[in-house]
Structures are given as C-alpha cells and as structure tokens.
A and B are shown apart, each in its own frame.
Chain A
C-alpha cells in the first residue's frame, strides 16, 4: 500500500538553528512528492514539490528538499530557521498516474526566539 512516513512528531529548535525534517515514502513506479506547511489556524500552503529532474528542489521561504530515490526519502531542509517558521509540516506523495495525494502524519516545528 502507498504510504508516507515522517520521522519526527515534534521538533523544537532555537532561532538560527538548521532544520532537517525526514520523510520516507512507499510507492511503486513514478512518484510525485510535496511538502506543505500549515501555520497555526491556517490552511495548507505548498512549500515545494518534486516531479522529475534535479533532485534538489528549492521552495518558498528558503526551504529546500532533496529526493533520494535509493533511500525513498524526500527530506526538508532549511539552513537557519526563524520564529515565524513555527508550524506543522506535512510531506505528501502521489503516484504518476495515481489520482490520490497521501499525507504523512505531520511534524510540528516549534522555533524558540
């Protein structure tokens, strides 16, 4: 069955620390990968997405993610977090011909000033 797993339930960092959130997927064939962010009380916003090509994807707000096919991973990174990055982050995946977007359970990021 198709699935997405996120390694950390809650990550707490201080401002200026580096961030890496893990995401692994289980999909056969072509996979499309996404990272979404949800700020408190708001709806989902797309941070970045990977369809094909360069495995290092740059998104909004200084975030990037690297697709490593051999590890079935799509980890999210940011060199220096800010207090405003406090939010919940969701990794999601869909197959090339699959209509459905499957989400991980989310990682809550708390950035302390």
Chain B
C-alpha cells in the first residue's frame, strides 16, 4: 500500500515550457488536492477534486489546470511555466464523509524550479 505517490520528485523547467505532475493514490479516496508550498506562505490550495470527473478551483488556481479522469489519479498541468511557479507541490487525498473516519494523506512532494 503506497498511499499517495507523486511523480516526478524534482524538475527544472524553462520559462514557457509545459509539464504535468502526476498524483496517484491507492486508497480509493474520493477527494484529492493539489497544494503549493512557498516559504512563509504555508500550503495554499491550487485545485481539488471531490470525485472522478470533477475538479474545482482552490485559493491560487491561475496558471494551472487539472484533470481527474480516473479516481486514483489527479494530474496538475502547467501550460506555460513561469518563474513564479517555482515551488514545492504537494498532493493529498482523503476519503469522503465527515467526522473521525477521515484523514488527509499527503504525498512526498515535487520540487519544481522554473528558470
């Protein structure tokens, strides 16, 4: 049981290039999230999904697109990378429902540098 797996772990892009970050979870979780972490800013939500085929904008969605074609995968795309997108990206998932039964599981992060 791998939990939440992010690929790649590191990437360097040139300004204007595109790339896709992959998040895969094997826990049959309904909800998935993409966050970015920047020094002094904590983690900020980019996009999230509450089920296969659905996505929604978070706090900082501009410059990113997402897709959830399969329940276990949540893709984050950068169409035209900018230096401001240099960050560490974390994916998370959790099962549906409320109360004590759910908890968030985080991936190990993707460190992206845009030059």
Contacts and interface: CB of A to CB of B under 8 A. Distances in A.
Interface in A75-113: 90, 92, 96-97, 99-106
A43 B90 contact: yes
B58 interface: yes
A105 B40 contact: yes
A27 interface: no
B62 to A, nearest CB: 17
Interface string B91-115: 0100000111001101111000000
Interface residues of A, number: 23
A46 B43 CA distance: 14
Contact of B103 (A43, A46, A102): A46
A106 B40 CA distance: 7
A99 B42 contact: no
A44 B104 CA distance: 10
Contacts of A9: 40
19 contacts: A6-B42, A9-B40, A30-B98, A34-B104, A42-B108, A43-B108, A43-B109, A90-B42, A90-B43, A92-B43, A96-B98, A97-B98, A99-B31, A100-B45, A101-B45, A103-B43, A104-B42, A105-B42, A106-B42
**Cβ-closest 4 pairs across A and B:** A105-B42, A103-B42, A103-B43, A43-B108
Given A100-B45, A103-B43, 13 more contacts: A30-B98, A43-B107, A44-B106, A46-B104, A51-B99, A51-B100, A52-B100, A90-B42, A100-B48, A101-B92, A103-B42, A103-B44, A105-B42
